[in-house]
Amino acid sequence: RCQLAPPQRALQASAVLRRVSDEQKKEPWASPSQFDSPPADQQPDREPQGPSYTGQGSQESEDYESEEQLRHRILTAALEFVPEHGWTAEAIAEGAKTLGLSVAAAGMFHSSGSELILHFVSQCNAKLSELLEQEQKRVQLGEAEKKPTDQFLRDALEARLRMLIPYIEKWPQAVSVLLLPHNIPSSLSLLTSMIDDIWHYAGDQSTDFNWYTRRAVLTGIYNTTELVMMQDSSPDFKDTWRFLENRVADAMNMGNATHQVQSTGEALVQGLMGAAVTVSEAGTRAEL
């Protein structure tokens, strides 16, 4: 997603794209204590540390904000209006208005609102990564205890799902848009990278077949819990967290059960590995 901005037209002073120097006076990336508050709070306008923007500083000779950054600002501002207008171009138009832009700026995005939803999801994933990173640092510094895996997974998923709470009424609409065929590649990749992240911080060292099963299992837990959450009316989503707890416990037990079939599994895997090695050696021999 490393999109480099098109070269700035040096002669025209842009009406809206702000100078980078202005932006850097603003607060840097929000501190972790703010993560639990609704994401509707104005995010800091720039994301200078985000990996998607590497290379832009070196590309442009002028220090103007790029189109991409402006789009992110508009989408972030639009999130505030989602509870009222849904994930639509109307919400984006209202967001643009708060930034002092014309409502026509919403025309920069698809009218389905897909980009708004994808932006929100990737923002949530980034926040989750930050959270997990902070937690890991605390453990390394000895300030906190390392949690057992099931507790860790539960907490990570709960934190991530709680980010949906301010938008939970319109979330079913978002899910259906994310499942549209042309959105599936993006939404799927966001989902898998989030799950990867969680396992990474959980200390997953596996390089064998288990890697896939763990991803699949956790993805399943996340998706089902999300669905439960959307129709949960208990106070503070108590029922959802209990459901989550049960599913994670199930997954842990399943891990034990698989040990019994492991010998068959191992033999199978070794057979496959052997086949792969043979094929690759045959290939190199053919090249020689």
Q: Which residues bind another protein (CB under 8 A)?
A: 9, 12, 14-17, 67, 70, 89-90, 93, 96, 99-108, 111
Helices (H), the chain: 20-23, 56-59, 67-79, 82-85, 89-98, 114-140, 149-162, 171-178, 184-201, 210-230, 238-287
Q: Which long-range contacts (CB under 8 A, 24 or more apart) does 245-253 make?
A: 245/154, 247/221, 248/150, 248/153, 248/154, 248/157, 248/221, 249/150, 251/150, 251/217, 251/218, 251/221, 252/149, 252/150
State residue 19 phi and psi, 5-degree precision.
Answer: -70, 140
Nearer to another protein, 84 or 133 (CB): 84
Nearer to another protein, 17 or 139 (CB): 17
Torsion of CA 85, 70, 32, 187, to 10 degrees: 60
Contact 228, 240 (CB under 8 A): yes
Closest approach of another protein to the CB of residue 74, in Å:
9
Nearer to another protein, 18 or 215 (CB): 18
Closest approach of another protein to the CB of residue 90, in Å:
6
Closest approach of another protein to the CB of residue 92, in Å:
9
Closest approach of another protein to the CB of residue 89, in Å:
6
Closest approach of another protein to the CB of residue 177, in Å:
16
Contact 144, 61 (CB under 8 A): no
Closest approach of another protein to the CB of residue 247, in Å:
35
Nearer to another protein, 92 or 174 (CB): 92
Closest approach of another protein to the CB of residue 17, in Å:
6
Q: Residue 232: name the closest of 157, 172, 184 by CA.
A: 172
Q: Residue 38: name the closest of 193, 167, 214 by CA.
A: 167
Cα angle at 1 between 122 and 28, to 5 degrees?
60
Nearer to another protein, 96 or 161 (CB): 96
Nearer to another protein, 107 or 274 (CB): 107
Task: List the structure tokens of 206.
Answer: 């596996």
Nearer to another protein, 91 or 163 (CB): 91
